[in-house]
Structure 1
Amino acid sequence: MKIINYFCIVLITSLFTACGSGNQKASSLFEISLEKNANQVQMNQEIGIKIKNKQEKQIQSVEYSIDGTPIPLNNDKIKIDLPTLGNKVLTAKITFDGETVAINKNLKVLSEKAPEIYTYTIINEYPHDTKSYTQGLEFYNDTLYESTGRKGQSFLRKLDFKTGKVFEQIDLDETYFGEGITILNDKIYQLTWQSGLGFIYDLNSFEKFDNFQYGKSREGWGLTNDGSKLFKSDGTEKIWFINPDTMTEDGYIETVTNSSIFNSANELEYVDGKIYANVYQKPSVMIIDSKTGAIEGVINFSGLSDIITKTENWDKTNYVLNGIAYHPERKTFFVTGKFWDKMFEVQIQKK
């Protein structure tokens, strides 16, 4: 009996050892090599690819894929045609000597075009509360909703955008730092920064009735929606998709230019398939394709800070541009900043 037990232990141990060393074995035999040793490519780019056969094995076949999407091989080249951009895993499934192994290579897939530059024309100026550390801004039926940050100063309010008159306000507990908001299906969703917690309010009664927790996303920054799902930024390159029925994260896009993966999306606004995102602590807004993550444009708002009134405790870190809302009837954007005394209605155009 002891002999049988001994052989069972040896057999089980060898099985676990074989399973655990599979990837190591594959990488000792083969390596994916891209043309010019590239570790990043652009969407729709064709690039040469080959397998480095380190021990000169007899290879029968090679199949390529990126994040599970098959990539055909044509004249020793692959074409990068994917639904989304960003950090990817290129996989080669190699069959040799009656055995099949898989090897991986990390790959950055970038946009094929550089972002276009946009500017703005001021249509109107409106008053803005200089005590509002603006983090979220959104219109609903011609009424403006605003969320502010800083512990002990965070609130959610609805107001008349023309006069600044506050209709209703909910102050957050001083332990919370308020962040982005969005409105969908008669509900207001509000993020907090580092608490891992969001709040849900009834749009009509303006009362909080539920909370939700974040999943894999790191923090709460910006929030918007496309009529069916929520988009959430978290201070990384990711913009997460949230199912409003379950409040679970169902995937993400990564914000990408033609040269890099960018990680500074803050306050968000969705308009006609594009996400407009304040760039953290910068006087600019990105225009992002909501499906691919490509940063298609950048709006330069640098001139606005020159025409607001600066208080005695002015500093460029706290008084930055933040807050963007689209008015669907007027077809204009409204932008402001943290502690700014003005909110601007603007039209956006290519420079």
Structure 2
Amino acid sequence: MRRSLTILMGLALGLAAEATPVQYTVEIAARYPHDPGAYTQGLIWHDGHLLESTGRYGESTLRRITLENGEVEHSVSLDRDRFGEGLARVGDRLIQLTWKAGRGLIYNADTLERVGRFDYAGEGWGLTYDGEHLIMSDGSDELQRLDPDSFEVKSRLSVHVDGQPIRRLNELEMVDDQIWANVYGTDLIARIDPASGAVVGTINAALLREQLPAGYQVDVFNGIAHDPATDRLFVTGKYWPRLFEIRVVPSAGASDK
């Protein structure tokens, strides 16, 4: 695990000259308030609002948020023995994972009313939807593709850089036909080819921490939401008091291929 994280960190910081993934950094397009009490696990954009899954036992929620002021418009609490994790939308349904319970929760995307549940093996971390399958991470280097109706595992994808596995893949988001993944414990996003599992780019978002106000006990970088209609990107972190709209640009000396 330490070796794989070191490899990815090296790519993002320009320490591995022989590596093929394109290196990126971020520019801040806008700043918005974010609930500093939210342990952000999953983040998506839907119908003009952010939807967020938060974690911690006894504190986990699914919530709808107004972007401009960070106001929580509606919130649904999970049972106290459920630890909220990744979130994805499939049509008129929201699918939320839980960490160690092996239980997925299904909601009406408009009302946030819980309408079903399903079981899965192993831990639940991140979740996204590519238009055909749910894509799920479990903290390893492997992503699972699930049928969005039966939740059966259809295939698995090993994520790697130069043949080395990249583990601790967390929050997931489909962006321009790539799988973007927060790498837990770092300020990095891996851009993953969904066909091969190869990391084709790394985004270093470390400068966002410098823009967080003092006096907050922030945790790790986590949360990626993409609005395909406007191509806007939103990111935040666990217990972060800010949510950022960002632009992704090649790092100095890197070419955007």
TM range (shorter): 0.7 to 0.9
| Cα separation, 2, equivalents of 1:114 and 1:258 | 8
Structure 1 unaligned residues grouped into runs of 5+: 1-111
Q: Deviations over 1:306-331 (max 9, x none)?
A: 2112436x3xxx61110011112221
Quote the residue 1:253 is aligned against. Answer: 157
- For the pair 1:349 / 2:249, whether they are aligned, the reply is yes
Structure number, greater radius of gyration: 1
The Cα of 1:245 is off from its aligned counterpart by 1.5
Aligned positions, number: 234
The Cα of 1:181 is off from its aligned counterpart by 0.2
Q: Deviations over 1:84-136 (max 9, x none)?
A: xxxxxxxxxxxxxxxxxxxxxxxxxxxx9622110111000000000100000
CA contact (8 A) 1:326 1:334 kept: yes
Structure 2 unaligned residues grouped into runs of 5+: 1-17, 252-257
The one-letter code sitting in structure 2 at the alignment partner of 1:119 is T
Matches within 5 A, 1:35-46: none
The Cα of 1:272 is off from its aligned counterpart by 2.3
- For the pair 1:325 / 2:218, whether they are aligned, the reply is no
| Cα separation, 1, equivalents of 2:19 and 2:123 | 30
Task: Give the TM-score taking structure 2 as reference length.
Answer: 0.88
Quote the residue 1:124 is aligned against. Answer: 30
Quote the residue 1:293 is aligned against. Answer: 197
| Cα separation, 1, equivalents of 2:48 and 2:111 | 17
Quote the residue 2:76 is aligned against. Answer: 170
Give aligned-pair identity as a percent: 39
Matches within 5 A, 1:23-34: none
The DSSP-based 3-state class of the residue aligned with 1:252 is: strand
The DSSP-based 3-state class of the residue aligned with 1:303 is: helix
The DSSP-based 3-state class of the residue aligned with 2:70 is: coil
Quote the residue 1:161 is aligned against. Answer: 67
| Cα separation, 1, equivalents of 2:20 and 2:52 | 33
Quote the residue 1:12 is aligned against. Answer: none
CA contact (8 A) 1:309 1:340 kept: no
- For the pair 1:228 / 2:132, whether they are aligned, the reply is yes
- Give the structure, 1 or 2, with the largest relative contact order (CA under 8 Å, sep 6 or more): 2
Q: Deviations over 1:176-208 (max 9, x none)?
A: 110010001100000000111110001123210
CA contact (8 A) 1:326 1:333 kept: yes
The Cα of 1:172 is off from its aligned counterpart by 0.7
| Cα separation, 2, equivalents of 1:336 and 1:235 | 19
The DSSP-based 3-state class of the residue aligned with 2:206 is: coil
The one-letter code sitting in structure 2 at the alignment partner of 1:327 is D
The Cα of 1:259 is off from its aligned counterpart by 4.4
| Cα separation, 1, equivalents of 2:62 and 2:90 | 16
Quote the residue 1:278 is aligned against. Answer: 182
| Cα separation, 2, equivalents of 1:114 and 1:207 | 45
Q: Deviations over 1:292-318 (max 9, x none)?
A: 101011100111112112436x3xxx6
Q: Which runs of 4+ in 1 moved over 6 A?
A: none
Task: Give the TM-score taking structure 1 as reference length.
Answer: 0.65
Matches within 5 A, 1:208-219: 208-215=114-121, 218-219=122-123
